[in-house]
Structure 1
Amino acid sequence: MGGFKDVIGHNEIIEYIQNAVKMDKVSHAYIMNGQKGSGKKMLADLFARTLQCEGEGVEPCGECRSCKQADGNNQPDIIKVTHEKPNSISVDDIRTQVNNDILIKPYSSKYKIYIIPEADKMTVQAQNALLKTIEEPPSYAVIFLLTENAEVLLPTIRSRCVMLKLRNIKDKLIKKYLMEEMEIPDYKADICTAFAQGNMGRAIMLATSEHFNEIKEEAVQLLKYINDMELYEIVEAIKRINNYKLDITDYLDIIMIWYRDILLYKATKDVDGVVFADQLNYIKERASKSSYEGIEKILDSIEKAKARLKANVNFDLVMELLLLTIKEN
């Protein structure tokens, strides 16, 4: 798996972890909070491996028995908590996999470590059950709660955990990684970096996804010609967009970045900052015909569309309203 030296960004968190290990000031409970793909799981895994490593350094050595077991996902004292229901972690999941198990001493290591992915999906009952363990943990226990939204955890849990917030990674670091480590072409790396918005996992996913390219091409074709489309053509376009319902956030982000490009070019005439560099003629043409107010209205309507879709408003209705707002402005 490598070590902390292979992690891009998150230097403050890595420094904190390594100091805690070096000074033997490891807490019993941590919350790692960040977007999906931000690196929570990787950092928790590396922290756990470092704590269990027989080399007793601030990086997992990769050579000892514990590190090799961890590489094969069979280190007996690093426990990954799972749940059958996709949208909730039940009180039984926590009692069975954590509370009842934590009383048994480590099998072969200094610590017994529990990693709970999607911990913000714990029910209130599950959180209360875990709270009792966090309040009076055995001396060898370390619990990692991985969350996208730590605010949904009980205040009593948050107050008893060390909070590690994963920040966005700088665009230049993401682009450099995509180009040098993954050999992604310059233009594609620009697109993926822009869409990732500081999230390395998302950048890698986009760079390797043929589906994303398909969505991007579909959206770009719509945006190039929407001003000349009749109402029936917009209805037909919405039918095609239905194919990307599960990826609608990506689709809307493509529209947003297209209009940010138009706004940027209109305001600065700077082509270097344009993400859709291969569509520069269309960007220039749209910038010359659109008003600042019109572009702002479109950007605002994209955010409203995202909020409405999250609130389960009718998909076709939301998209029709958005596309008509774009056409009018």
Structure 2
Amino acid sequence: MRKTLCFILIFLFPVCLTAQEKLGGIVNTLKERITLSAYAQLGYTYNSAADPSNSFDIKRIIFMADGKITERWSCYFMYDFAVSSLQELYTDYQFLPGLSVRLGQFKTPYTMENLLSPTSVELINCYSLPACYLVGINGSDALCSASGGRDIGLMVYGDLFKKLVTYKVALMNGQGINTRDRNSQKDVVGYLSVDPLKWLTVGTSFVIGKGHSVSETPVHGIEPGENYRRNRWSIGAFLTGEKASLRTEFMTGKDAGMKSNGGYATGCVQIVRNIDVVASYEYLNRNVTMGDKQSNYMAGLQYWFYPKCRLQVQYTHLEPKQGEGSDLLQAQVQVRF
């Protein structure tokens, strides 16, 4: 019996070694082809509005997986545990150095700001008033669901002339994330940016399509479930230096017969090592005819205590056309790995 066991062990030993080598090869391959990352943003907000409020909050807990299937074929996954929602899921294929195709759920290529990660945007509120409204990021436009600036569709994109020009052209549902299109029309979205100088990027983008109303608003006069013309346009610029940057955009929109516009300018200056002063002005005119305008003024500091990790403190004055103004005092910590 003992001899038999020894014989079996001797026989199985090379088999086990081969299996272990194969398993190790698979693990090493996965390490080489899959990149995992995550970040979280946690903070505190005090609002001095007519009914003052203050609260600690968890804004985002993002998990990301980037998989490289072949040299030209990849896939990407993003999930937000703070709201238990799939944010992005798409696959890319590069046909040529300047020609790639993306299919799935991803950022709508409208405005330069919407394409930025929240980990690099200077505002604790993240995106500007006009971007949140005209892109449909946070549901401030009641006709659209909050989509985080994302949609489902097909996009052709790439960089040309040694990355002097970047282009994106997409055909998208126009309904937002995690939902099917609710009408038969698709949105055509275009984005073009040029880097004429090392420190300057100039870009423009547009959306041409039809929306499907998810709610009723007295300002628009559009009924729930109604299809309506929904067009957008933007132009902007990034100026970046070693210790200072300036980002600005102007945006316009037309929903049925109602026009809206807005813009922002956000600057960041490094005053000492790892500490920046941040200032921003933004405005949104929801209805140009009625002059339904709101302006926000922000000033703050941010301290980068580790690469991609920062502590932010900001004061914002909100000035609506109607009603009294209010103030926000906010703090946020961001960790990323």
Q: Same fold (TM over 0.5)?
A: no
TM-score by length of 1: 0.24
- Structure 1 or 2: more helix by fraction: 1
Bigger relative contact order, structure 1 or 2, given CA contacts below 8 A and separation 6+? 1
